[in-house]
Amino acid sequence: MKTNYGVLTTLLVLVIMMTTKAETTENPLLKTFENIHQTAPFDKIENEHFLPAFKVAIEEARAEVQEIIDNPEPPTFENTVVAMSKTGDRLSTIRKIFFNLNSAETNDEIQKIAQEVAPMLSEFGNDISLNPDLFARVKVVYEQKDELELNPEQETLLENSYLGFVRSGANLNDDDKARYREITGELSKLGLTFSENVLAETNAFELHITDENELTGLPEFAKEAAAHTAKSKDKEGWIFTLQYPSYIPFMKYADNRELREEMFRAFSTKANKGNKFDNKEIIQKIVDLKLEKAKLLGYESHADYTLQRRMAETPDRVLTFIDELHQASRPAAEKDFDEVVEFARSEGFTGELQRWDWGYYSEKLKKARYGFNEEEVKPYFKLENVIDGVFNLANTLYGLELKENKEIPVYHPDVKAYEVFDATGNFVSVLYMDFFPRDGKRSGAWMTDFRGQWIEGDEDIRPHVSIVTNFTKPTETKPSLLTFDELTTFLHEFGHGLHGMLSKCQYESTSGTNVFWDFVELPSQMHENWAYEKEWLDRFAVHYETGEKIPAELIEKIVAAKNFQSGYMSERQLSFGLLDMAYYNATEPLSQPVAEIETKAMTPTELFPPVDGSLMSTSFSHIFAGGYSAGYYSYKWAEVLDADAFAAFKANGIFDKETADAFRTNILEKGGSENPMDLYVRFKGQKPTVDALLERSGLKN
């Protein structure tokens, strides 16, 4: 007799809900979201709501999956594959809210909950992917795929579903399945711990200066921000931190070389100090466990496993791609380096140029050569004006209107929520924007979502997208004034946001940014190009005090400096890709210390003398706590795509509606519903080559 697990699981849900009634009856995460556009009730969610909500939602999802397994009808695309794609909606919502907060507004309590929840979610995921009865139903449908007359998105969903099971251990024997569960559970916790350690080390350091003479060279905006930070900590003087808006200006402008060295050493030794936040052992475990998992599944390396579902397809192709760009970049990088050394000598510098000297003398050389520096540009990039400019670009290209709605709850007072509408007034998306650094937010910039996009019956469920950055904060006397790098970062993350907001797909798992990882950076990097276009800058860039439009000669300087040290920057990015592949293309467990692996991997691109204790790996969150393991090359891969794509705008006009419509309908709206190269060729008419990137970067001979 076959046990009816669906009934038993449903009863278990009821028991859990009854036994935790005191906690869950008023739990906002377990109620229907009644805010406008069903946005998350951040004003009602407390930390204690998460754990009971996760427990209930996991059991609900189990019951939904069990219903599919117990369905007496023969497996079909609709009753098995589509039904699977619709399970766990509540769990997905809670998961997104919680882990987005863990990145943008975390605290000790949230981090503790994360360590408890991560293995629960891993176990649940394994219970699904390793369920032989469920896999059997999916396999029946997959084996009929040629007779099903599916459209391209349905084919993609079926392919993803079947391979998702296979790549998650469905074909393993019982002993290997048990080991697979152990590995994935441990990896889920290790990634969280890695991130927590980096954040703790970032927050632990501050350079406290009380003698104003030690601030020479620093522009007013940097000094005022540091004074503001000191005041917020009830201290005198100035405080500089390892957050980018504080660290980068200090390294570019501070005359005091000893303090630059102190800042650099603090930044480059994060999680590499032999204390409780040290990440070296965690790296070893992560790399070895990912290799073991790949071998369990029949792959030679984690890179082989990962790249099966990437445009690049194989490690050899990635390494060939990196080497091709390395060969083009290296001569230019060496020239860039020698020019800075020569310039430093002309400024009276003696000795060997060190990493803490690079930003300082590079900035001086750029100013001497082009008459351009960040301080000169910042007054024209008041954050509010940049927001208007970016929104105007979205309107010009894609007909979007963005309107702030203060009735939408947010998770921190700094966050702004917008409603996005199309040219005909139809609702497109909610967009949250969270701009400034704080102790509870990890460094960097990213796009994420609180809800994806999909079709439910006749209803198009629209997404809730979030853009998170760490821009220069306003002070008591100045608004937030962005550097040029921050402007391009805004465009980059907004490009990701457009990919999420404009999605028009049938299924959530194929919508928005759910694409091959080496394709996901195309929309983000392509939109950065407008930062160098006078036509666009003229629309919003005015001096925050005088209202004067950004001078044409200043834009000319920006454009002229565009390829300043492009060889060096290319080599730097390629070095990260080589480091990533050194860890994840290995076919045997790590036998060398992390520092030795890093040195060997990055030597081909190295230009500086080594610095004792300096280690990139221990804070390389992209590949140890993010989704970029065996995938960091994706940034350069997408640069090839974006340079080739923007060439179409340059040829037809940077605001050309026909080109923008083609990019929207073939790229932004399609998400991961079809093979990315097919989508790209449909947009451009041909496959991309590296030529456009080399030409744009000034690296083509």
Sign, CA dihedral 690-693-696-701, equals negative
467 Cβ contact partners less than 8 Å away, ≥ 6 residues apart:
431, 432, 433, 434, 445, 446, 447, 493, 494, 496, 497
Determine, yes or no, domain membership for 228: yes
Question: What average pLDDT does the segment 130-147 reach?
Answer: 97
Q: 16 pLDDT exceeds 80?
A: no
Do both 117 and 9 map to the same domain?
A: yes
- From the CA atom positions of the chain, what is the Rg in Å? 26
Contact 219, 295 (CB under 8 A): no
For residue 425, count CB atoms less than 10 angstroms from its CB and return exposed for 0-12, middle for 13-18, buried for 19 or more. exposed
pLDDT band at 297 (very low <50, low <70, confident <90, very high): very high
Residue 401 forms beta bridges with which residues?
421
Element (H, E) at 521: helix 521-528
Please write the tens of the pLDDT for every residue from 186-222.
999 999 999 999 999 999 999 999 999 999 999 998 9
Residue 417 forms beta bridges with which residues?
432
Buried b (16+ CB within 10 A) or exposed e, 527-566: bbbbbbbeebbebbbbebeeeebbeeebbebbbebeebbb
CA 216/CA 223 separation, integer angstroms: 10
Do both 113 and 244 map to the same domain?
A: no
Contact 69, 140 (CB under 8 A): no
CA 75/CA 137 separation, integer angstroms: 5
Do both 510 and 650 map to the same domain?
A: yes
Instruction: Give the pLDDT of residue 692.
Output: 86
Q: 10 pLDDT exceeds 60?
A: no
Instruction: Give the pLDDT of residue 13.
Output: 43
**How much of the chain, in percent, has pLDDT values that exceed 70?**
96
Find where tokens 């020239």 sit.
335
Indicate the DSSP class of residue 77.
Answer: I
Please write the tens of the pLDDT for every residue from 492-524.
999 999 999 999 999 999 999 999 989 999 999
Determine, yes or no, domain membership for 190: no
Do both 425 and 490 map to the same domain?
A: yes
Determine, yes or no, domain membership for 182: no
Do both 499 and 615 map to the same domain?
A: no
Do both 110 and 249 map to the same domain?
A: no
- Choosing from 59, 196, 201, 493, the catalytic residue is 493
Do both 129 and 257 map to the same domain?
A: no
678 Cβ contact partners less than 8 Å away, ≥ 6 residues apart:
none
Do both 28 and 143 map to the same domain?
A: yes
**Three-state secondary structure call for residue 246:** helix
pLDDT band at 440 (very low <50, low <70, confident <90, very high): very high
Q: What pTM does this model have?
A: 0.90
Supply the CATH number for residue 337's domain. Answer: 1.10.1370.10
Determine, yes or no, domain membership for 198: no
Contact 344, 368 (CB under 8 A): no
Domain final residue, candidates 247, 268, 289: 268
Determine, yes or no, domain membership for 189: no
Count: domains in the chain: 4
Please write the tens of the pLDDT for every residue from 596-620.
999 999 999 999 999 999 999 999 9
Supply the CATH number for residue 94's domain. Answer: 1.10.1370.40
Do both 413 and 494 map to the same domain?
A: yes
Instruction: Give the pLDDT of residue 25.
Output: 66
Q: Which domain holds residue 32?
A: 5-171
Question: What average pLDDT does the segment 637-641 reach?
Answer: 92
Domain final residue, candidates 122, 147, 171: 171
CA 245/CA 193 separation, integer angstroms: 25
Domain final residue, candidates 632, 652, 671: 632
Do both 243 and 288 map to the same domain?
A: no
Do both 552 and 655 map to the same domain?
A: yes
Do both 356 and 424 map to the same domain?
A: no
Task: Give me the DSSP letters along 633-689.
Answer: THHHHHHHHHHHHHHHHHHH-TT-HHHHHHHIIIIITTTTSS-HHHHHHHHHSS---
With helix as H, strand as E and coil as C, how does 152-163 read? HHHHHHHHHHHH
Determine, yes or no, domain membership for 444: yes
Active site residue 493: yes
**What's the full length of the chain, in residues?**
701
Determine, yes or no, domain membership for 181: no
Instruction: Give the pLDDT of residue 475.
Output: 87
Q: What is the mean pLDDT of the chain?
A: 94
For residue 147, count CB atoms less than 10 angstroms from its CB and return exposed for 0-12, middle for 13-18, buried for 19 or more. exposed
Question: What average pLDDT does the segment 352-378 reach?
Answer: 93
Determine, yes or no, domain membership for 458: yes
